[in-house]
Homo-oligomer: A and B are copies of this chain.
């Protein structure tokens, strides 16, 4: 195989083979040209416009890939990797019923892209590819058994064992958002009761803050709601918590405690050495991370509970495209 190495800025040998990485979320569609050493180039963000349905979204994906190909030159590109929301069968590249992409039921995304571009394509879950990126180039480089949890509109997760995505029997492992925190708890929009996402998904973090306002009339959250025209996001609350707002700290503490209780079970089951927390609210810092650690210790056995490390994700919003690009190098190196 052709190799295109050169010394990078840190003196490490960088592998400059390139792939296109696509991060398909319910809100944003991100693309980049990514080197095998994990450097993203030509970052391009656009609105997914998911409400317009799968045909429109797939056209937008194709347009974005074409732009990357034009900038980098077709000959330079080894393939296309896509991280998609939803249940993704990574063996076939079919995306099933992603909750944040309306009207998608069963889309053969791999086939569509391969036929359009005559390039090898690989599709995996968005949290899985972000976890792969953190494992290879981010917060998890020293870990053998890690889970990345991304806190956003939904709660995603990816498991990486020995630097590879753990897929399970049909490519769908890592569905932590609908992990049961209370078998008899409040109804989640998925139809199950007491899912993790029902406690720490964006919508529920905001509701938790709003219902707590009467107890904290002087909170900056009140002021923020007025200034923003009644718009409040989990990132706002995380930021205010980081700045010392008592209401926001209380909300982050509750979120961390719920999340940690569920993670305690995961730690008991998998004896992980690292949990990486990503997504907007991970910026809250210790007001979120300390309650997570405390709850893990309370909900896990002594040895696995005390050895697992908790870290903030390092690659931020680029993790998706970087990991998606890695799918290509990984896929081409593995016999079909």
Footprint of B on A, CB under 8 Å? 87, 89, 96-97, 144-145, 157, 159, 166-176, 178-185, 190, 192-194, 258, 261-262, 264-266, 268-273, 298-304, 307-308
CA distance A17 to B159 in the complex (A): 37
If A182-B184, A261-B180, A268-B175 touch, does A192 touch B144 (CB 8 Å cutoff)? Answer: no
If A183-B258, A183-B261, A261-B183 touch, does A301 touch B171 (CB 8 Å cutoff)? Answer: no
CB within 8 A of A303: which of B87, B183, B194, B264? Answer: B87
Q: Which residue of B lies closest to A96 (CB)?
A: B303
| Residues of chain B contacted by A97 (CB below 8 angstroms) | 302
CB–CB A300/B178 < 8 A: yes
Q: Which residue of B lies closest to A172 (CB)?
A: B271
* Given contact pairs A173-B269, A183-B299, A192-B298, a sample of 20 additional A-B residue pairs in the complex whose CB atoms are under 8 Å apart: A87-B303, A144-B169, A145-B169, A169-B308, A173-B270, A173-B271, A174-B269, A175-B268, A175-B271, A178-B300, A178-B301, A179-B265, A179-B269, A180-B261, A182-B183, A182-B184, A182-B185, A192-B299, A192-B300, A193-B299
Task: Tell me the smallest distance from the CB of A175 to a CB of chain B, in Å.
Answer: 4
CB within 8 A of A170: which of B157, B194, B303? Answer: B303
CA distance A265 to B159 in the complex (A): 15
Task: Tell me the smallest distance from the CB of A47 to a CB of chain B, in Å.
Answer: 27
Task: Tell me the smallest distance from the CB of A243 to a CB of chain B, in Å.
Answer: 29
Residue contacts A-B, CB under 8 angstroms, 17 given: A89-B303, A157-B269, A168-B270, A168-B271, A168-B304, A169-B272, A169-B304, A170-B303, A174-B271, A175-B268, A180-B261, A180-B299, A181-B182, A182-B185, A183-B299, A265-B265, A266-B269
